[in-house]
Chains A and B, each alone.
Chain A
Amino acid sequence: MRVALLVTCLNDALRPGTGQAVVSLLRRLGVDVDFPLAQTCCGQPLVNTGYLDEAVPLVRSFVRTFESHDAVVVPSGSCAGSVRHQHALVARRAGDPGLATAVEEVSSRVHELSELLVDVLGVTDVGAYYPHTVTYHPTCHSLRMLGVGDRPRRLLEAVRGLRLVDLPAAEECCGFGGTFALKNADTSVAMGFDKVRHVRGTGAEVLVAGDTSCLTHLGGMLTRQRAGVRVAHLAQVLASTEGDVWGEPA
């Protein structure tokens, strides 16, 4: 099987390790991974801040880049949600029925990482080894926009060496919210502190989530607090094996 990776702009620029982990994980599962170099950003930061006109060229470029691929994988619930639920809005705004049709076609082939693994590849045990105590934060868009349900949990439970501890108030938002983190910084931080307090209370060494955006916000608080808890993307945990452990501090 051949899958195109939409790495997301955030992973591309700030957390390339997430993308490398996806590549490593999927190759191990026998998937041929392609990275179309023309990709940039799904446009979510613009759409969610209200800049729809500005997002039109990004959506056009997204469709051009991925329309020839049978399956696209995204290590982000938020970006997958943006493609599946917001690109249609942008296409309508552009007043371009051709773009709307193309968006509908392409977006139906876009899968968040846990969806691709569980639904398309049909695996929950990906053969990973990660000898750490871990707690999992289900990010809002993966949970409520995509409805990934317990897929990430099932994947984590099958990882050898991994001890999964429950996160209290897990389904409550971490407070990142894209430009909310800057526009409403005080509220964002109040929410983030509460999430971090719950994370620290679990005694976990690693906070795992499927979105780099939320992890950058929470990870930034954890290091600021010298909390002794690190963050890792779900892809990094699943990519880890006895011989090749991802997500370790650089």
Chain B
Amino acid sequence: MGGAGVTGTFVGMPTFPVAARRALGDAQLRHNLGQATATIRAKRQRLVEEVDAAVPTSAADPQGLGGWEALRRAGAAVKEAALRSLPEHLERLEAELVANGATVHWARDAAEACSVVAAVARAHGVREVVKVKSMVTQEIGLNEALEAEGVAAWETDLAELIVQLDEDLPSHILVPAIHRNRAEVREIFLRRMKEVGRAAPDGLGDEPAALAAAARSHLREKFLSARMAVSGANFAVAETGTLVVVESEGNGRMCLTLPEVLVSVVGIEKVVPTWEQLDPMLRLLPRSSTGERMNPYTSTWSGTAAGDGPGEVHVVLLDNGRTRALADEVGRQALRCIRCSACLNVCPVYERTGGHAYGSVYPGPIGAILNPLLNGVGHDDQVDSLPYASTLCGACFEVCPVRIDIPSVLVDQRAQVVDAHRGRRRSGEAVVMRLAAATLADEGRLGFAERFTGVGLRAARRGAGWPGLRRWTGARDLPRPPRESFRAWWRRTGGGTR
């Protein structure tokens, strides 16, 4: 599994606390994120309440869970069942795709997947491809791999375009440019569009309609000239060999229908066995991601169709750490994820640090578990820092449309991080934790230690103490020392009876 790993793009990122510290100091970022996440949160919440109101306790919901909770359970059950019999469904998917005229490739890791896409580009002699917004091609670092082959990959999703033009990194799953406001977007368009294609019009304003029009005319040129497209897929329906892409802009459909050649990279966890099982997923996803009842465009294709759309269709089924995640008893539920980003929008940590601090294309609570699951822990401090990038407040679990218990996975992965470091040089933390465990192991030792609480606190409040103490006292006073511990009070007074 040496080649597995989440994207070359973010390699060398600092650990979460270091990156977060930098992000927290960026006032514009804080403002942009606060506005954007609050807006999406409110939209989602209204739709959840609408679903609950539409389905009062009834035959459709015998347990009285409420419409939304019943829908979440249905979505989780679909993905869970699909994952339990993954090989069977993947083989069916492959057979149907091949029968429909598609070519299926299996890729163990990012390098294998990228080389498949590059080989197709080479075979057709294309120098540029247009891309449908996809997380998985970011995960495998496809754009960089194609660039190394002399092939330019153009992002066509508006937010991805902004990020690409600015040579920036995505900071959100659904809205990769969430960290930018419209004034910043205007500046990026004016500066960069002319260098890579049709220039932004002179006198471009920062109204959303004007920015969208500039992007539209820039992208039209790409759509009409590109002979090859690359996509991911939101779902893959095994029974008919159908890939599904949901989107808002219609740019994805341009890519899926106009070029002659289409290559789709699909994580193996995207499979759902039947169309019927797709139903709850298509109701959960738009409500959880964009806060809409239904996304504007849902494109489906099953291999090739004569005279309609790309005449050559490839599907790359990608592992890249997914079988490792599947083998993780607690963490495997993360493979249910449908990349909606509801957990990002509701996360108080993400709202303040933004996505870059997570050092991966998968930021936020889901990224904090997905990256360690796909990469393994114990060999990269950045990855090892991610399970700790949470207060375990549980807001993510509450909104997750497929009920991924992210806090429980985080705790399990913290244990995996600690276990991976057992037997190595002891960190200060490990020493403190073992000392705490020894002190807390019996009442005698704890009672003894508590006699020094007052002395310790008084010394610390005067400014003494170990350097790490400033992490607390930098912004917070220490509590005033009590006269005695509760235990001492109980012994002395018989629980206040004498």
Contact = CB atoms under 8 A, between A and B. Distances in A.
Partners in one complex: yes
B454 to A, nearest CB: 10
Interface string B428-465: 01100110110011110010001001000100000000
Given A173-B395, A191-B348, A17 B482 contact: yes
B233 to A, nearest CB: 33
B491 interface: yes
A186 B15 CA distance: 13
B352 A37 contact: no
Contacts, number: 198
Interface size class of B (residues with CB under 8 A): 35 or more
Nearest to B353: A187
A138 B398 CA distance: 15
Contacts of A102: none
A58 B475 contact: no
B391 interface: yes
A50 B476 contact: no
Contacts of B348: 172-173, 175, 191
A13 B450 contact: yes
A14 interface: yes
B495 A35 contact: yes
B484 A9 contact: no
A48 interface: yes
Given A38-B443, A182-B468, A191-B391, A11 B486 contact: yes
Contacts of A172: 348, 395
Interface string A45-73: 11111111011011001000000000000
Interface stretch (A104-112, A127-135, A153-161, A220-228): A220-228
A139 B217 CA distance: 50
Nearest to A17: B482
Given A13-B453, A144-B394, A181 B472 contact: yes
A141 B20 contact: no
Nearest to A221: B476
Interface in B399-436: 408, 411-419, 429-430, 433-434, 436
B25 to A, nearest CB: 9
A190 to B, nearest CB: 5
A52 B418 CA distance: 9
Contacts of A50: 387, 411, 413-419
10 contacts: A16-B484, A48-B392, A50-B417, A54-B436, A61-B441, A172-B348, A180-B388, A183-B388, A193-B475, A250-B480
Interface of A: 7, 9, 11-20, 23-24, 33, 35, 37-41, 43, 45-52, 54-55, 57-58, 61, 85-86, 89, 93, 140-141, 143-145, 171-173, 175-193, 216-217, 219-221, 223-224, 250
Given A144-B397, A177-B393, 14 more contacts: A9-B440, A12-B450, A37-B487, A39-B443, A58-B440, A93-B415, A181-B472, A182-B471, A184-B16, A185-B474, A187-B389, A191-B349, A219-B479, A220-B475
